[in-house]
């Protein structure tokens, strides 16, 4: 790639002004409605709305009249996996060099390290574009879905385990410790901080009632290394559900994109985690089923989730619960500069 080609003028800054954030959100919503898939990961969406990391870069492309036609985000914080990026281009301005110009600017800022680019939704055009720029497919996340109109299995919790809702301000650190143990080898989830948790808790879609916590009433069942909770038991697992799209007043708020979209609200199996000391006892399956019951009780017609394409055990579990592959998010990686 030639970072100096300058095909489309690109502005780059560590922070955006409030009016620029509003413009980008409007662009993202237009693209989501046009493509049927949200073009930014949750991580980038939160950085856009809440300021993000000082080492992140926001890229803006405008046409000659000053209208916003493209947005890009460059994350330089991952010292292990390397820089990652995402690009959004107005549907009416694609194939005009906007995305390519942003990738060139990003590549010039990585100090020769490989650049990773996420494409949301396995669209042929995105794959062709990535290959033309010298990127190779490196990772994939499946999106799986199932209807909530059909029957759901009963919730069969292990003996000595009960469920309750997450308690903001009380469970925060205990949950974070559990999350880090449960996802110790995960490239994103296992590295969450309290700030990451609180940022999501501040989102309009957050619902403590939909954040299910598994408590082992008998401490002898908890095993070694399980952090003590603040009630009569120990936190050993959780299912954090999420709702995309506005719900009616009877169900509460469940908006995740900041605007009403032209699609039916859908629930998400957002994160399911089980303490390593409790794995293999059926707790993860029971938590997943409990979350699906919760989402159906909200009146939702369907549920979705994301899973690593390489995690066959998880795919098999979700398939046994009625989920089927719906779409794929793909990570492309460049060669070292």
Q: Where are the domains of the chain?
A: 10-141, 150-300
- The reported pLDDT for the residue numbered 1 is 34
| Residue owning tokens 């799986």 | 144
In this model, does residue 51 exceed pLDDT 50? yes
Q: Return the closest-CA partner of residue 212 out of 257, 254, 273.
A: 273
Residue 13, pLDDT > 70, answer: yes
Q: Report pTM.
A: 0.78
Q: What's the rounded mean pLDDT across residues 86-110?
A: 93
Instruction: Say which CATH architecture domain 10-141 belongs to.
Output: 3-Layer(aba) Sandwich (3.40)
Please state, for a pLDDT cut of 70, what percent of the chain lies above it: 85
DSSP single-letter state for residue 190: G
Please indicate whether residue 168 or residue 251 has the higher confidence score (pLDDT).
168
Q: Can 10-141 and 150-300 be said to share one CATH topology?
A: yes
Superfamily of domain 150-300: Gcn5-related N-acetyltransferase (GNAT) (3.40.630.30)
Provide mean pLDDT across the span 181-201. 86
* Interatomic CA distance for residues 12 and 61, integer angstroms: 9
Q: Is the pLDDT of residue 249 over 50?
A: no
Pairing of strands 68-75, 211-216: unpaired
Across residues 216-227, what is the average pLDDT? 54
Question: What is the rounded distance in angstroms from the CA atom of residue 192 to the CA atom of residue 42?
Answer: 13
Least confident of 46-55, 71-80, 209-218: 46-55
């Amino acid at each position: 790639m030639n970072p100096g080609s300058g095909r489309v003028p690109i502005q780059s800054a560590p922070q955006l002004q409030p009016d620029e954030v509003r413009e980008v959100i409007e662009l993202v919503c237009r693209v989501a409605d046009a493509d049927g898939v949200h073009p930014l990961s949750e991580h980038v969406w939160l950085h856009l709305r809440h300021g993000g990391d000082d080492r992140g870069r926001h890229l803006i492309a405008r046409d000659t009249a000053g209208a916003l036609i493209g947005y890009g985000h460059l994350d330089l914080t991952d010292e292990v996996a390397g820089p990652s990026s995402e690009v959004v281009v107005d549907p009416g301005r694609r194939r005009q060099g906007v995305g390519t110009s942003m990738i060139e600017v990003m590549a010039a800022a990585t100090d020769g390290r490989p650049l990773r680019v996420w494409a949301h939704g396995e669209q042929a055009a995105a794959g062709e574009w990535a290959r033309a720029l010298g990127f190779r497919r490196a990772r994939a996340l499946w999106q799986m879905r199932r209807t909530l109109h059909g029957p759901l299995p009963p919730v069969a919790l292990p003996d000595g385990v009960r469920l309750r809702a997450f308690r903001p301000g009380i469970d925060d650190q205990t949950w974070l410790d559990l999350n880090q143990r449960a996802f110790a080898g995960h490239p994103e989830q296992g590295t969450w901080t309290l700030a990451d948790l609180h940022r999501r808790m501040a989102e309009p879609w957050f619902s403590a009632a939909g954040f299910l916590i598994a408590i082992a009433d008998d401490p002898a069942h908890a095993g070694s290394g399980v952090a003590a909770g603040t009630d009569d038991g120990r936190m050993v697992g959780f299912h954090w559900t999420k709702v995309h799209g506005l719900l009616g007043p009877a169900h509460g708020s469940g908006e995740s994109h900041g605007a009403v979209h032209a699609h039916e609200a859908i629930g998400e199996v957002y994160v399911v985690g089980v303490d390593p000391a409790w794995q293999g006892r059926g707790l993860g399956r029971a938590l997943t089923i409990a979350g699906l019951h919760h989402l159906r009780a909200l009146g939702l017609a369907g549920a979705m989730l994301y899973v690593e394409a390489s995690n066959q055990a998880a795919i098999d579990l979700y398939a046994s619960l009625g989920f089927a592959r719906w779409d794929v998010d793909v990570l492309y990686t460049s060669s070292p500069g």
